[in-house]
């Protein structure tokens, strides 16, 4: 703008935006950034205790409590592990998915949530294709809501199970996290960052524990402004350079269902960003390789890497059950423990 | 018709250059006489049993406010708003005229609908001036008969809610509107850049996982339209940019004005008071089109109001039913209500906080929109003008309560906000349209 056209800058400071429009239920888990370090430590500790507990005593913890799984998108890992987690604690679960319910007939998220509450659901685990859906469901039902993935936004339990996996390899035996526990650790998140809720939850969580997050991908899938999402986040577009700096490599799937008309040259993508055996051996022979799934073998990773010795992909899946037991337990017992309401 | 005598108030009529204590006599829907306190001529009927007296001591009297951008939802969407409820809200906000956008169901692209909207059966409390669709069905293809629309009462043409994307159609719209003396109001959004977008493009949209609406989607259309006005400059074409929201589009308007082109713009209170941060955690009452922008853009709006590049404050009053906004952010309709809060917000923030003179604010809310829409005898209280008056207490501070609104809808981000300046009476063509209890 022409500087001569701006005589005196007028400063007006209207009220800032409210940080949160309503008090969360203390059992809810909507965003990875909602958790204090103490709460993260508690979840990690409980995950290990619950995982090792005798299943016959464990299932008394939430005996006959009611948990609803409300899924607007397909899911294998998240749905099954939440279900196994809730059942492992003795809770009754019910699954409502968009293709076999009144959602197909046009029922809104609000009405579906209120209906589940009226049916006795004490907590709702929500997977939804719209960013922010979990906030809407919580504000309308006031039930504990566990965000199992909202659009392109967040997937907090994935970030927690990824953290558990990272700690198991880099900080074995540690369950109490601090702001320095991952100091010196660089985590590369590679691929379709733009459309990834896993990337967002991890890039908000890991820097709070001291880790450095390197985002890596082409401009179409990784806009420059991603580095401004929070502290401790940098962009490195050269995959080899990113690998050389990283102890943890998190590979992401290209989310074809969210590309919204974006055209990608897949051959070029593979040439630049596919994690192959030789590339891994040359640039990061010590790093662990993670992937939230589903994997598209031969696209973002080769089969050899997915099945190789550096891959911890199935460990992540296993950790999902333990983490989700702790999170479901927290959802239904948070008031007794004195949550953050 | 009975006469109204407004006594003891402080008249601010920027268009007539009046700023002082005056008594005003309204008769037969017009301003009969204005004189110093106690000086009205008895011969003019300033006394007698059929003269209703309003004591305006300590109050400000001004030309009734004019909102050149509202959505009254009739015909077709009476569950959101009707002309009766929308104008009742307008009167409560101090407005005596509103210009109603044509994105109704069906689209107002005909003299019949234009007349229907103005018919007494609609129950309007104040004057409604329809803005007719520029193209058939607002599809951006075939231009409507502007002469017929104008004689039916249309005061401008626009495809608001949608842009006119095709260069040839926009050029022909500007030329045809100029021939009949109408302004073209453009909703500047290149919809090819805003597919699926639900908030301003930037770091906050990225963090919230929402698709963003880039500044260029607005500025590229404004720049294209200015180019067309330049090419048509001999025809006196008038381009008015609706709800401008970006610094870069404002810079283009500023430059066009320096080049002597008839290019004007309006800004909505939410665009000079709120920024993208107010989306918070998916507050659907902070979702509108154009979206709340970065704070640098918000600051540019304020600056342009102060330095005169902004021609009008217009609300873009866009009522939606509660259930329509209680949905996922991406699925919520765009728009917020604004008629009851425009004056209170402008006085609170531009006047009290920003020290912009009261007369400047009233001009942006009345004389200037009247001139843009060529509303003769409005936007001023000079003798002979329409008796459209707002009387308000400029010092009164109050809190807006959306649940008490006269509108059918209450989708506003300003619920619970502090307001300055309480409307006591709104008088539309000599008739009391609103009185504060």
Tell me the average pLDDT of chain B.
Answer: 96
Q: Is the pLDDT of residue B434 over 90?
A: yes
Residues in B whose CB is inside 8 Å of some CB of A read: 195-196, 202-203, 206-211, 247, 250-251, 254-255, 272-274, 277-283, 286, 299-300, 302-303, 306-307, 323, 326-331, 349-350, 353-354, 417
Region for residue A305 given its phi and psi (left: phi exceeds 0; alpha: psi -120 to 50; beta: otherwise): alpha
Q: Is the pLDDT of residue A339 over 80?
A: no
- Judge: B299–A230 Cβ closer than 8 Å, yes or no: no
Nearest to B129 by CA among B187, B72, B63: B72
- Judge: B281–A135 Cβ closer than 8 Å, yes or no: yes
Confidence of residue B289 (pLDDT cuts 50, 70, 90): very high
CATH 3.20.20.140 residue window(s) in chain B? 64-372
Q: Is the pLDDT of residue B432 over 90?
A: yes
3-state secondary structure chain B: CCEEEEEEEEEEEHHHCEEEEEEEEEECCEEEEEECCCCCCHHHCCCCCCEEEEECCCCEEEECEEEEEECCCCCCCCCCCCHHHHHHHHHHCCEEEEEECCCCCCCCCCHHHHHHHHCHHHCCCCEEEECECCEHHHCCCCECCHHHHHHCCCCEEECCCCCCCCHHHHHHHHHHHHHHCCEEEECCCCHHHCCCCCEECCHHHHHHCCCEECHHHHHHHHHHHHHHHHHCHHHCCCEEECCCCCHHHHHHHHHHHHCCCCEEEEECHHHHHCCHHHHCCCCHHHCCCCCCCCHHHHHHHHHHHHCCCCCEECCCECCCCHHHHCCCHHHCCCCECCCCCHHHHHHHHHHHHCCCCHHHHHHHHHHHHHHHCCCCCCCCCCCCCECCEEEEEEEEEEECCHHHCCCCCCCCCCCCCEEEEEEEEEEECCEEEEECC
B415-420 average pLDDT score: 96
Superfamily of domain B3-61+386-394+418-435: Urease, subunit C, domain 1 (2.30.40.10)
Residue ranges of domains in chain A, CATH in brackets: 32-153+319-332 (3.40.50.1370), 156-257+264-317 (3.40.50.1370)
Q: Is the pLDDT of residue A5 over 50?
A: no
Judged by a CB distance cut-off of 8 A, whether residue A131 touches chain B is: yes
Give the contacts of A281 (CB within 8 A, at least 6 positions apart): none
- Judge: A10–B303 Cβ closer than 8 Å, yes or no: yes
Nearest by CB: A16 against B206, B277, B417: B277
- Judge: A150–B277 Cβ closer than 8 Å, yes or no: no
- Judge: A200–B209 Cβ closer than 8 Å, yes or no: yes
pLDDT higher at A106 or B2 = A106
pLDDT in tens, B163-202: 999 999 999 999 999 999 999 999 999 999 999 999 999 9
pLDDT of residue B1: 56
Residues of chain B with Cβ-Cβ distance to A135 below 8 Å are: 281-282
Q: Return the minimum-mean-pLDDT range out of A12-26, A38-52, B31-45, B124-138.
A: A12-26
Q: Is the pLDDT of residue B47 over 80?
A: no
Nearest to A196 by CA among A294, A275, A301, A315: A294
Mutual orientation of helices A37-52 and A156-170 as an angle, nearest 10°?
70
ipTM value for the complex: 0.94
A80-85 average pLDDT score: 98
How many A×B Cβ pairs under 8 Å?
A: 111
Q: Is the pLDDT of residue B56 over 50?
A: yes
- Judge: A109–B328 Cβ closer than 8 Å, yes or no: yes
3-state secondary structure chain A: CCHHHCCCCCCCCCCCCCCCCCCCCCCCECCHHHCCHHHHHHHHHHHHHHHHCCHHHHCCCCCCCEEEEEECCCCCHHHHHHHHHHHHCCCEEEEEEHHHCHHHHCCCHHHHHHHHHHCCCCEEEEEECCCCHHHHHHHHHCCCEEEEEECCCECHHHHHHHHHHHHHHHCCCCCCCCCCCCCCCEEEEECCCCCCHHHHHHHHHHHHHCCEEEEECCCCCCCHHHHHHCCCEEECCCHHHHHHHCCEEEECCCCHHHCCCCCCCHHHHHHHHCECHHHHHHHCCCCEEECCCCCCECCCECHHHHCCCCECHHHHHHHHHHHHHHHHHHHHHHHHHCCCC
Q: Is the pLDDT of residue B49 over 50?
A: yes
For A180, counting Cβ atoms within 10 Å of its Cβ (0-12 exposed, 13-18 middle, 19+ buried), the class is exposed
- Judge: B277–A229 Cβ closer than 8 Å, yes or no: no
Q: Is the pLDDT of residue A341 over 70?
A: no
pLDDT in tens, A29-70: 999 999 999 999 999 999 999 999 999 999 999 999 999 999
- Judge: B209–A2 Cβ closer than 8 Å, yes or no: no
Using CA atoms, how far residue B1 sits from B4, B175, B260, B426, in Å, is 10, 43, 46, 17
Q: Is the pLDDT of residue A2 over 50?
A: no
Which residues 142-171 of chain A have a CB within 8 Å of chain B? 150-154
The size of chain A, in residues, is: 341
Give the contacts of B401 (CB within 8 A, at least 6 positions apart): B415, B416
Nearest by CB: A21 against B196, B247, B280: B280
Using CA atoms, how far residue B221 sits from A11, A202, A232, A257, B187, in Å, is 29, 38, 38, 30, 9
Fold of B64-372: TIM Barrel (3.20.20)
What residues of B are annotated to the active site? Answer: 316
Q: What percent of chain A has pLDDT over 70?
A: 94
- Give the gap in angstroms from C-alpha A310 to the nearest C-alpha of chain B: 31
Q: Is the pLDDT of residue B43 over 70?
A: no
Residues of chain A with Cβ-Cβ distance to B274 below 8 Å are: 14, 17
Confidence of residue B45 (pLDDT cuts 50, 70, 90): low
pLDDT in tens, B368-379: 999 999 999 999
Q: Return the minimum-mean-pLDDT range out of A12-26, A134-148, A286-300, B87-101.
A: A12-26
Residues of chain A with Cβ-Cβ distance to B330 below 8 Å are: 130-132, 151
Radius of gyration of chain B (CA): 21
Work out whether the CA dihedral A257, A259, A263, A269 comes out positive or negative: negative
- Judge: A21–B195 Cβ closer than 8 Å, yes or no: no
pLDDT in tens, A205-225: 999 999 999 999 999 999 999
Judged by a CB distance cut-off of 8 A, whether residue A229 touches chain B is: yes
pLDDT of residue A309: 98
For the question of whether the overall pTM of this predicted structure is more than 0.90, the answer is yes
Identify whether the C-beta of residue B211 lies closer than 8 Å to the C-beta of residue B329: no
CATH 2.30.40.10 residue window(s) in chain B? 3-61+386-394+418-435
Q: What percent of chain B has pLDDT over 90?
A: 95
Among A1, A12, A155, A202, most B C-beta atoms within 10 A, so best to mutate, is A12
End-to-end CA separation in angstroms for chain A: 47
pLDDT of residue A12: 84
């Amino acid at each position: 703008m022409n500087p001569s056209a701006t005589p005196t800058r007028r400063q007006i400071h209207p009220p800032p935006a409210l940080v949160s429009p309503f008090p969360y239920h203390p059992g809810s888990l909507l965003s990875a950034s909602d958790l204090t370090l103490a709460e993260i430590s508690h979840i990690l500790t409980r995950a290990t205790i619950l995982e090792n507990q005798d299943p016959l005593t464990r299932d008394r913890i939430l005996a006959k409590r009611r948990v609803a799984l409300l899924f607007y998108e397909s899911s294998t890992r998240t749905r099954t592990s939440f279900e196994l987690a809730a059942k492992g604690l003795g809770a009754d679960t019910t699954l409502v998915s968009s293709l076999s319910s009144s959602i197909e007939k046009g029922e809104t998220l609000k009405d579906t949530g209120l209906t589940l509450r009226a049916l006795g659901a004490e907590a709702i685990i929500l997977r939804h294709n719209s960013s922010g859906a979990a906030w809407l469901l919580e504000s309308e039902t006031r039930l504990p809501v566990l965000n199992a993935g909202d659009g392109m936004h967040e997937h907090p339990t994935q970030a927690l199970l990824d953290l558990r996996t990272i700690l198991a390899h880099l900080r074995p035996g540690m369950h109490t996290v601090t702001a320095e526990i991952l100091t010196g650790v660089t985590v590369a998140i590679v691929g379709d960052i733009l459309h990834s809720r896993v990337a967002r939850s991890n890039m908000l969580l890991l820097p709070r524990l001291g880790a450095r997050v390197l985002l890596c991908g082409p401009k179409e899938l990784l806009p420059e402004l991603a580095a401004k999402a929070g502290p401790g986040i940098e962009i490195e577009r050269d995959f080899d350079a990113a690998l050389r700096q990283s102890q943890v490599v998190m590979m992401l799937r290209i989310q074809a269902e969210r590309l919204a008309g974006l055209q990608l040259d897949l051959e070029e993508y593979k040439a630049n960003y596919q994690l192959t055996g030789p590339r891994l051996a040359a640039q990061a022979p010590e790093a662990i390789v993670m992937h939230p799934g589903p994997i598209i073998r031969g696209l973002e990773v080769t089969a050899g890497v997915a099945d190789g010795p550096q891959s911890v992909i199935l460990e992540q899946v296993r950790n999902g059950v333990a983490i989700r037991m702790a999170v479901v337990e927290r959802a239904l017992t948070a008031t007794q423990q004195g949550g953050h309401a | 018709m009975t006469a109204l005598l407004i006594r003891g108030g402080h008249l601010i009529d920027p268009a007539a250059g009046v700023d002082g204590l005056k008594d005003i006599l309204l008769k037969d829907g017009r301003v009969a006489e204005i004189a110093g306190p106690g000086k009205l001529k008895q011969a003019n009927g300033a006394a007698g049993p059929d003269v209703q007296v309003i004591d305006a001591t300590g109050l400000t009297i001004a030309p009734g406010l004019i909102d050149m951008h509202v959505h009254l939802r009739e015909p077709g969407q009476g569950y959101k708003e009707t002309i009766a409820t929308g104008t009742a809200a307008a009167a409560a906000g101090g407005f005596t005229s509103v210009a109603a956008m044509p994105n109704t169901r069906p689209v107002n692209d005909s003299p019949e609908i234009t007349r229907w909207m103005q018919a007494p059966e609609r129950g309007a409390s104040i004057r409604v001036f329809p803005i007719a669709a520029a193209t058939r069905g607002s599809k951006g293809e075939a231009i409507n008969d502007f002469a017929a629309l104008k004689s039916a009462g249309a005061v401008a043409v626009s495809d608001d809610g949608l842009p006119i994307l095709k260069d040839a159609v926009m050029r022909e719209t500007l030329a045809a509107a100029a021939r009949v003396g109408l302004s073209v109001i453009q909703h500047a959004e290149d919809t090819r850049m805003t597919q699926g977008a639900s908030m301003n493009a930037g770091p906050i949209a990225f963090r919230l996982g929402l698709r963003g609406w880039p500044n260029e989607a607005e500025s590229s259309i404004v720049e294209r339209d200015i180019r067309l006005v330049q090419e048509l400059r001999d025809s006196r074409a008038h381009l008015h940019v609706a709800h401008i929201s970006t610094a870069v589009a404002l810079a283009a308007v500023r430059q066009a004005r320096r080049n002597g082109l008839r290019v004007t713009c309006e800004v909505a209170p939410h665009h000079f008071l709120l920024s993208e941060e107010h989306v918070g955690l998916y507050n659907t009452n902070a979702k509108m089109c154009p979206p709340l922008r970065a704070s640098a853009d918000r600051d540019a709006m304020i600056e342009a109001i102060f330095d005169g590049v902004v021609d009008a404050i217009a609300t873009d009053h866009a009522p939606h039913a509660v259930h329509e906004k209680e949905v996922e952010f991406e699925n919520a309709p765009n728009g917020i209500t604004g008629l009851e809060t425009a004056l209170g917000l402008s006085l609170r923030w531009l006047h009290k906080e920003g020290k912009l003179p009261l007369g400047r604010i009233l001009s942006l809310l009345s004389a200037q929109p009247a001139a843009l829409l060529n509303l003769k005898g409005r936007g001023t209280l000079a003798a002979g003008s329409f008796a459209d008056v707002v009387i308000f207490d400029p010092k009164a501070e109050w809190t807006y309560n959306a649940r008490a609104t006269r509108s059918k809808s209450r989708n506003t981000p300003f619920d619970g906000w502090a307001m300055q300046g309480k409307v006591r009476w709104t008088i539309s063509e000599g008739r009391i349209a609103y009185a504060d209890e």
